[in-house]
Amino acid sequence: MSVQGAELQAEKLTKRFGGLVALSNYSLALHSGEILGLIGPNGAGKTTAFNLLTGVLRPTGGRIRLAGHDLTNRKPEDFAVAGLARTFQNIRLFRDLSVWENVAVGAHRGEGASWLATMLALPGVRRSEASLRERAAELLRQVGLLDLLDRRAGDLPYGLQRKVEIARALAMRPRVLLLDEPAAGMNATETQALTEMLQKMTLQTKNFSLVVVEHDMRLVMALSSRIQVIVRGELLAEGTPEQVQRNPAVIEAYLGSGRRSRPRGGLGNALA
């Protein structure tokens, strides 16, 4: 994959924890509108890669660039300002706030009133709040939750809370959105609804890129335009979903050489 014009670029990222090498020489070039699936067995290093790409961890070696800006060793908030948003495996909503207020939190950095205006209750505060609510409503429409914008976030079913979290991340107007196990804890029906929502959203909006770390192979295969496979801290394979499903090294890494003939119908069916 060419690095020219890449929105998010990682060059030979390495992370050591004492004597343990959690990730070694990982590279990535993610372009606008692209959907990348990042997969691997438990403990493979994909979470380490994800946390490096979002500034949660600082690399032992290598560099990270977002939209041409070098963010190596910068804080997570610097990544956010540069145009990167993420969700977490464990939902982190403000449970006592309404759905639209949770989404508005993501938009507040660039669109909210100043703290002084808020303290003085200036007219601009009311205009700002109306603008934030309008922005939140549009994002909730995109994820299919417009009719729930005034509901308490903590009262929503788990799968709908996931959608609220994604809408909040989108409110930051990111260049790159990273989803950490978005289907974790969901049942099959909720996962299918999430997959369809993400497919529709990415088809409608081409001005940002998406990285998904996920164990659910059906979601990854249906959603991704490209997949990277990390095993034992190293990038084992990269390609389209079809290429990855047929890669003997990937099949062996997941199922073991003695079961290589088992995955009829592709890796997605074998591991779903």
Residue 199, φ and ψ in degrees, nearest 5? -60, -45
**In the chain, where are the structural domains located?**
8-44+57-214
Question: What confidence score (pLDDT) does residue 27 get?
Answer: 96
Closest to 91 (Cα-Cα) out of 177, 180, 171: 180
Question: What confidence score (pLDDT) does residue 272 get?
Answer: 40
List own/partner pairs for 185-191 with CB under 8 A and 24 or more apart.
185/158, 186/158, 186/159, 186/162, 187/159, 190/157, 190/158, 190/159, 190/162, 191/216, 191/218, 191/219
Question: What confidence score (pLDDT) does residue 235 get?
Answer: 96
Q: The domain 8-44+57-214: what is its CATH number?
A: 3.40.50.300
DSSP reduced 3-state for 14: strand
DSSP state for residue 114 in the 8-state scheme: P
Question: What confidence score (pLDDT) does residue 120 get?
Answer: 39
Question: What confidence score (pLDDT) does residue 123 get?
Answer: 54
Closest to 57 (Cα-Cα) out of 68, 46, 66: 46
> Looking up tokens 């003939």, which residue turns up?
261
* Per-position pLDDT tens, the chain of length 272: 556 668 899 999 999 999 999 999 999 999 988 899 999 988 899 999 999 999 999 999 999 999 889 999 999 999 999 999 999 888 889 999 999 999 998 876 545 444 334 333 445 555 667 888 888 999 999 888 999 999 999 999 988 999 999 999 999 889 999 999 998 888 888 888 888 888 887 766 667 889 999 888 889 999 999 999 999 999 999 999 999 999 999 988 876 644 444 433 345 444 44
Residues in a beta bridge with 260: none
What is the Cα–Cα distance from 267 to 87, expressed in whole angstroms?
Answer: 26
Non-local CB neighbours of 76 within 8 Å, separated by 6+ positions: 54, 55, 56
Question: What confidence score (pLDDT) does residue 59 get?
Answer: 97
